Amino acid sequence: MTPCARILCVRVSFQTATKKPLGAITQLENISVLKPSKQVLQSTVVIVVAIVIAGVFFALRPPPETVTIEPPTLTIDLAVAEKQTLSIAVSSQGTVQPRTETILITEVSGKIIELSPQFQSGGLVEKDEVLLSIDPRNYEVEVKRAEANVATAFSNLVQEKGRAAVARQDIKKYPRKYASKEAHYLALRLPQLKEAQARLDSAKADLEHANNNLDRTKIRAPYRGIIKARSVDLGQFVGSGTQLGQVFAVDFAEVRLPIPADRLNYLDLPDSHNKESAPSVIVENELGAKWQGTIVRTEGVLDERSRVLFAVAKVDDPYGVENGRDALLMGSFIKAQIGGKRIDNLIAIPRYILRTGNKVWVLDEQQRLRNRDVKILHTEGKLVYVYEGLNDGDRICLSTIPNAVAGTKVNVNATTSTSALVSANADHIADASTETNAL
């Protein structure tokens, strides 16, 4: 065969050989495509049958048993509402001040020769107690000189009176000689008598002045008080007008208490028309100690900016000099509760039971919680005064119940009354005050 014929035979053989595998591949592809379709169909049938069977079993299952779970019953404390006539106290605050404070100043000059041990900061002094002494020698000399001048003036007056007596006898002997009024006046030596008397009076005044200066060499306490400061020391020369120290009275203290204008109606304050009114007040310092006092006056002017009226409270014996109780120190910041007017038909409840929106829990006849809206007249410390929303006999829940809902059934643990709550609060204040004052 020629080369061309060989090439042609090879091509034909190759094509013939290649055609058979391509057909086989095509048949395999057709088989693989048909086979997955049957599997999907079979799977779908199985799933549908399973669902139908499950539905039949679900529909034919017995119903579950119903179990009712009751919430646990709460136990609470309650107070039975009782309307009362109550005194509304008004809260305030202020700073304790002495009723009198004095700067001690010398009226004479000289060297300080003696100091009292009590004449120092914090020293308690009695009225007229000598605090310091200034060298008195020069003033003693002035007293002696003044006494001598008085004696001389008195002697001159006696002599003039003698001369006047002699002149009176002479006038009786020679009445015509002294017939004129002027001559009679001069003859009796009346001008000389008046001059002698005036000199005696002047000498006595000088003696009194000298004695006063001598007495001023001893600086005395003007009243019972406590020394606030001392400005001089032993051996120091002081001139007239030198400041020696400061002292304040301890017979009683005063506290200026601001009262808001909207609280004035609750108080019966003393004024020009009602001077006998003296509301009680309890003052408490930063350590919790309490003292009893009274409102003795007001300043009578409402502050235009702050809209408050200042009332002045008086606290007797703040330093416990008479009864030995704890001292209410001057300058202390205090809180005050002022006793107010008595108002009818109020119910006092604890402040902590008041919920948002001024609501409280009350119990109905089935021992279930019910909401009650109340109206508040005044809040005083731990108590809230209700004037509307509660009636006599209402049972008020005193326990704090988180997440409580209306209709919740409860059990009662302890029962009291709102009047007992007020009494307990008042007794607590009174006992604290009595205990503190007795110390």
Spell out the per-residue pLDDT of the chain, length 439, in tens. Answer: 444 444 434 444 444 444 444 444 444 444 444 445 667 677 777 777 778 777 766 666 666 666 555 556 788 899 999 999 988 888 899 999 999 999 999 999 999 999 999 999 999 999 999 999 999 999 999 999 999 999 999 999 998 888 877 777 766 666 666 556 666 667 677 788 889 999 999 999 999 999 999 999 999 999 999 999 999 999 999 999 999 999 999 999 999 999 999 888 888 888 766 666 788 999 999 998 999 999 999 998 998 889 999 999 999 999 988 888 889 999 999 999 998 888 899 999 999 999 989 999 999 999 999 999 999 988 877 889 999 999 999 999 999 888 888 888 889 998 999 888 888 766 554 444 444 444 3
Paired with 334 in beta bridges are: 94
- Please give the Cα distance from 131 to 222 (Å, whole number): 10
Which residue in the block uniquely carries the two structure tokens 């007293």?
A: 143
Give strand pairing partners of 75: 411
CB 411 within 8 A of CB 366: no
**Strand order through the sheet with 218-220:** 218-220, 130-134, 110-115, 237-238
Copy the structure tokens of residue 107.
Answer: 């009226």
Q: Are the CB atoms for 78 and 363 separated by under 8 Å?
A: yes
Q: What angle do CA 406, 407, 408 make, to 5 degrees?
A: 95
- Cα distance between residue 139 and residue 206, in whole Å: 12
Neighbours of 349 (CB within 10 A): 22
- The type of residue at 220 is R
Residues 217 and 133: beta-carbon distance below 8 Å: yes
